[in-house]
Structure 1
Amino acid sequence: MININKYNTDVLVIGGGLAGISAALEAARSGVRATIVVADKIFSGSSFSPYTWGLGIVSPYNELDKKDLLESIYDVGCGLVDRELSFILTDNIEQRIRELEYLGIKFKTPQNIIGDETLIPCFDRKHRKWYGFTFENSKHIFYDKIKELNINILEHQKIVKLFTNKEVFTGALGINKNNQLTFFDASSVVIATGGFGGLFKHNLNTEDINGEGLILALSAGCELINLEFLQFIPGYLKPKYKTIFAEKSFKYVTLEDSEGNSIIKKYFPEYVHEREIMTERSTHGPFSSRMASKYVDIAIYKESLRDKFNHGAKVKYDMYISNDKGFMIKEYFNWLEKTRGIKYDEEIIITTFAHASNGGIRINKDAETNVKGIYAAGEVTGGMHGADRIGGLSTANALVFGKIAGQNAALFAKSHKNYISKDIIKKEITSYISNIKVSKYNPNFISDKIKNLMWENANVIRNDRNLKYAINEIEKLSIFTKHEIEFDNLQKTNLNNIIKAQNYIKLSLLLLNTMLLRKESRGSHYREDYPNQRDEFNKFIIVSQNENAIIEYKTESPKT
């Protein structure tokens, strides 16, 4: 006999980072019951990552600068930007900063921004207002506000299915770590589960950032956009794994193999001037195919594949780095020594790490998907950035669209109440559990295998051969047994990991196929076999799933 708990709320928020917290606070202020559900713990995901010192937020100085920032977003995004979303983002950043300051959150604000080149945002062309968001300063303030507004927090509860009826959200199914099932009777939902960097072996995300929110949305009928645009960024293999590397220091670095040879000279011809591209590489964190500095990341990645013992490139700093007074360099190395116990003169080995997702769930100006009652915010969404993203706008995106999602989810909840009988709930959940396919492989083996395949074949270098190889290998993992989930024995079934492995298979194939379809290089997407940007690909790739669970891909030109 299947045992299903029931939980009632008005707005269900999935995710405990800045986007989810912003959505829940705004929904509760609107007078509805809000509940935050997190697969791990509150204050999780990239918003509160232990692998970096904090988060930067950029904002325009004035109306003129706002227009300039909007054009810069479009240029950096290589045209594949939803201009309406970008306008809303730039128009609301400063207001969100003021609102957080009113709550008591303090931001780091350098005194001399204009004179400090380390504070020009990644990929941007000029200085903007800059705010440093630090984790410890904000957690207790957010927590007190959550309690004040009577927002419930349910930790270690994973939402695995969103139910709909006639393209309207009707509820959600959650599973806790003991495999207990809960039906969430909610009128609306906000998906704020973060990106999909966890799908790669080396990533700078926490364990809960694995893209499962995208599969939730897709399976409920929502569209996905720009999935092929994923940022890769250098990170530490040694001495402390999963530590972000300070890109601003690249101009002081020589990258060597284990024998002490320059890997730039090793992998590229003489016309690639090492110091020039290292200096350019200091201006941005993530890899981009648009710039000559792409050779730095490509060399690191190639050396990582070649050297199976060290798996990366050795960082050698010159003596002049100790004289650099740039704010970002000083902040980084102070944090590195204080919290990670690392000094810049230690042996450091780096490789390319999956970082932030520029694509995700497609939303409109109200943070609503194409399914009524389903909203999304933060890194799980796509469209407002494009092929490359300006540094400091990911956090801004979470704050701005998190608030918008909470407002509109609350409005929807006030006007749409779900009345679902116990029999229908049981029927829906039984059908979902019955259709979970069990692979002949161990679910943990599947997840680890996919992470390796994705890192090796869908990294900063992509090509037809490697992408098709990864697709073929992952499809082999989806050979299912005739075994079905036993309802009377759910407590002893590794249901969470089975669902996770199934989601990994589905999402990795979506990513690989969009990468294969985009036969060009644009921003964070680099095709070795199509190294140039091509006008005929100035289109979004939109992914959807039809009523027969068939994945469909279409292209759509951006609105001008």
Structure 2
Amino acid sequence: MDIKDKLAVDVLVVGSGIAGLKVSIELAKEGKSVLMSTKTQLCSGSSFYPLKASLGTQVTKNDEDKDLFLQDIEDVSHNMHDKDMAKIYIEEIKDRVDEFEEIGIQPYKLSDNRKACFANHGRTIYMLRDWNKIRENVTGILENYSNVTVMERSVVISLIKRNDKIIGAFLLDKNKELILIQCKAVVLASGGFGNIYKHNLNPNDVDGSGHILALEAGASLLNLEFIQFIPGFTTPKYKTLFGEHTLNYCEDFVDDSGNSILDEILPEGLSKEECLEVRSTHGPFTNSLVSKYFDIAMMKQIMKTRSEEGFELIYNKALYENESDFYTIYLNWLTERGINLLTDQVKIAPFAHASNGGVQVDHFGKTNVAGLYAVGELAGGIEGANRLGGNSTGACMVFGKRAAKDCLAYINENSFIEIDSQEELNKLNESMKHFSVHVDHSLTPNEVIDSIRDIMWFNGNVIRDEQNLLSAIEKIEELRKSFNISQFVDNVKDRKSAFKARNFIMLSKILLQAMLERKESRGAHYREDYPSEDERFNKRLFISLNDHELKLEFK
């Protein structure tokens, strides 16, 4: 590869979801030059991939609510979250929701207090909706900032360091040409990694690239084994979010022969009705509640039959007689998409959705690498073994603001450092040698990507055990040994997919090893061979990289 062009900016922001927008606009207001790189279009990622009519932001109700809110977070976390980050969120979120309009979002406050997913107490909820209007608003706002440049359909492939300090990055632009970016700091806001799973509730750009950028730059990852899996429709409309509250009107959950898949798995003393009732209160799978058997039943059948068609929900007609907003908003949204839960055959399966872990950061989004920040779903901290609903969009605002403030101080104290283009290009080429296995017939990037997505969905889904995890790791290693990245990066049209395949090889191995290392079941992490929570693992799992070797450590 040859360097096509060079650009210099104060800050490179990777991602243009809520977190990326918040950081970019905060820095732009202070007169700093910002380059925002986004894999697709402006306003992207899970922030702008609505799975239902709206997204909620959970806000501290009043001073009396602070202790209750903290207790809700701690109850679902199972000691896997950063307690100080949780306190900061609770203290600052009320002020941050007032700043949504600054990034083009006009939320509306619900008239009543609601219990967010996994919460034991109701509180103030602000709803975000009308994504096209938000994108239009953002476009207008950025027109007022000549110091913000947006590069759509671009991919950051490597960060450049000198003396343990970030000084730049390489990216592939919309034409897949290599661009050298000189900058004082990088803010990663590229989201989670749901797209590494064959069936997921994410857009294609949520692919874990930010995790690999951070790890290779010297940052650590944590809590990666805690992944949210949420039931999604396989039919009548694939990749549609399932509304768990409708289970209050579900009579049974059956296979293609009409046999209940719950009957054979529910333990003695737990009725089908009780399992469905508890499952109706939360979207993601958790091992923490008796409703876990609902998701486990699905995945056991899938692993047994290798069928991905899902399982049918049998509803009572009284579902459409409930006139509360809680039901009608969702049911009307389904109707707009041509779905009727009574007249259509509705099948669901576990879909990957959100990462509860991510890049290790402090309370200002700083990593242990000078000049490198991570915010949004990419950052690990506030979430634990489960994720409290309504906190993700709010955390983008709270920690996006704090990261921008700290980053501003950092770039004011630091100057640009000259980059030796040829030296850094040589380093980039050298880093690819580990994925440049000389084989007669290399797998193509898309073959690698598709194989990994399939492996992850079957082996790293809701149910995990040592045998399947080891088998999956072995399969990933076979893919690595059959892939020559150099063969494809020299071809401009294959460059982006080649780097994505490389990232998938690294990230899949990391995820599977994290799942293997935690020999217990806790929250979103369920090990069938270790079904109970174990106090010996009452620690967070940190992952670092040294000379292509992963280090996993509980602390």
Task: Please report the TM-score for the alignment, with normalisation by the length of structure 2.
Answer: 0.94
User: In the alignment, is residue 550 of structure 1 matched against residue 552 of structure 2?
Assistant: no
Distance 1:289 1:309, change over 3 A: closer
Which of residues 167, 174, 179 in structure 1 aligns to 2:176?
179
Secondary structure (helix, strand or coil) at the match of 2:168 reads strand
> Do 1:258 and 1:310's aligned partners in 2 also have CA atoms closer than 8 Å?
no
Match of 2:470 in 1: 468
* Alpha-carbon distance in structure 2 between the residues aligned to 1:84 and 1:458: 30
Distance 1:486 1:308, change over 3 A: closer
* Alpha-carbon distance in structure 2 between the residues aligned to 1:91 and 1:457: 40
Q: How many residue pairs align between the two structures?
A: 545
Amino acid at match of 1:229: F
Cα distance per residue 1:45-102 (max 9 Å; x no partner): 1101143322111111112212221122112100111111111112111111112247
Task: Report matched runs for 1:441-520 at 5 Å.
Answer: 441-480=443-482, 484=486, 489-491=490-492, 494-520=494-520
* Alpha-carbon distance in structure 2 between the residues aligned to 1:467 and 1:367: 32
User: In the alignment, is residue 189 of structure 1 matched against residue 189 of structure 2?
Assistant: no
Mean Cα deviation higher: 322-331 or 271-280 = 322-331
Which of residues 315, 331, 334 in structure 2 aligns to 1:333?
331
Secondary structure (helix, strand or coil) at the match of 2:66 reads helix
How high is the sequence identity, in percent, across the aligned residues? Answer: 36
Distance 1:430 1:103, change over 3 A: closer
Match of 1:116 in 2: none
* Alpha-carbon distance in structure 1 between the residues aligned to 2:479 and 2:299: 26
Task: Report matched runs for 1:300-319 at 5 Å.
Answer: 300-307=298-305, 311-319=309-317
> Do 2:104 and 2:141's aligned partners in 1 also have CA atoms closer than 8 Å?
no
Match of 1:359 in 2: 357
User: In the alignment, is residue 139 of structure 1 matched against residue 135 of structure 2?
Assistant: yes
Q: How far has the Cα of 1:320 moved from its partner?
A: 1.8
Q: How far has the Cα of 1:40 moved from its partner?
A: 1.1
Mean Cα deviation higher: 270-279 or 7-16 = 270-279
* Alpha-carbon distance in structure 2 between the residues aligned to 1:137 and 1:3: 37
* Alpha-carbon distance in structure 2 between the residues aligned to 1:177 and 1:305: 40
Cα distance per residue 1:166-207 (max 9 Å; x no partner): 211010000124330001111111100000111111100000
Q: How far has the Cα of 1:426 moved from its partner?
A: 2.0
> Do 1:438 and 1:480's aligned partners in 2 also have CA atoms closer than 8 Å?
no
Secondary structure (helix, strand or coil) at the match of 2:98 reads helix
Distance 1:532 1:104, change over 3 A: same
Structure 1 unaligned spans of 5+ = 114-118
* Alpha-carbon distance in structure 1 between the residues aligned to 2:206 and 2:51: 13
Q: How far has the Cα of 1:402 moved from its partner?
A: 1.6
Which of residues 213, 218, 235 in structure 1 aligns to 2:210?
213
Task: Report matched runs for 1:268-307 at 5 Å.
Answer: 268-307=266-305
Q: How far has the Cα of 1:483 moved from its partner?
A: 7.8
User: In the alignment, is residue 242 of structure 1 matched against residue 239 of structure 2?
Assistant: yes
Match of 1:265 in 2: 263
Secondary structure (helix, strand or coil) at the match of 1:350 reads strand
Cα distance per residue 1:479-537 (max 9 Å; x no partner): 156784598x5436x22111111110111111111111101011000011111111110
Task: Report matched runs for 1:383-422 at 5 Å.
Answer: 383-421=381-419
Distance 1:334 1:468, change over 3 A: same
* Alpha-carbon distance in structure 2 between the residues aligned to 1:350 and 1:31: 49
* Alpha-carbon distance in structure 2 between the residues aligned to 1:84 and 1:426: 43
Q: How far has the Cα of 1:450 moved from its partner?
A: 0.8
Cα distance per residue 1:364-402 (max 9 Å; x no partner): 011110001001100001121110011001111112112
Distance 1:16 1:473, change over 3 A: same
Which of residues 198, 202, 215 in structure 2 aligns to 1:201?
198
> Do 2:161 and 2:217's aligned partners in 1 also have CA atoms closer than 8 Å?
yes
Root mean square deviation of aligned Cα: 1.8
* Alpha-carbon distance in structure 2 between the residues aligned to 1:425 and 1:275: 65
Distance 1:259 1:541, change over 3 A: same
Task: Report matched runs for 1:6-17 at 5 Å.
Answer: 6-17=6-17
* Alpha-carbon distance in structure 2 between the residues aligned to 1:461 and 1:327: 34
Match of 1:120 in 2: 115
> Do 2:100 and 2:107's aligned partners in 1 also have CA atoms closer than 8 Å?
no
> Do 2:311 and 2:349's aligned partners in 1 also have CA atoms closer than 8 Å?
yes
Amino acid at match of 1:267: I
Q: How far has the Cα of 1:302 moved from its partner?
A: 2.3
Amino acid at match of 1:64: E
Amino acid at match of 1:413: I
Cα distance per residue 1:241-279 (max 9 Å; x no partner): 110000111121121111112211133345331000101
* Alpha-carbon distance in structure 1 between the residues aligned to 2:45 and 2:450: 20
> Do 1:225 and 1:360's aligned partners in 2 also have CA atoms closer than 8 Å?
yes
* Alpha-carbon distance in structure 2 between the residues aligned to 1:24 and 1:483: 33
* Alpha-carbon distance in structure 2 between the residues aligned to 1:112 and 1:322: 22
Cα distance per residue 1:26-48 (max 9 Å; x no partner): 11112211121001111111101
* Alpha-carbon distance in structure 1 between the residues aligned to 2:68 and 2:121: 10
Amino acid at match of 2:464: R
Distance 1:325 1:111, change over 3 A: farther
Q: How far has the Cα of 1:136 moved from its partner?
A: 3.4
* Alpha-carbon distance in structure 2 between the residues aligned to 1:265 and 1:482: 48
User: In the alignment, is residue 130 of structure 1 matched against residue 130 of structure 2?
Assistant: no
Distance 1:101 1:443, change over 3 A: closer
Structure 2 unaligned spans of 5+ = none
Match of 2:152 in 1: 155
* Alpha-carbon distance in structure 1 between the residues aligned to 2:276 and 2:219: 41
Task: Report matched runs for 1:72-87 at 5 Å.
Answer: 72-87=72-87
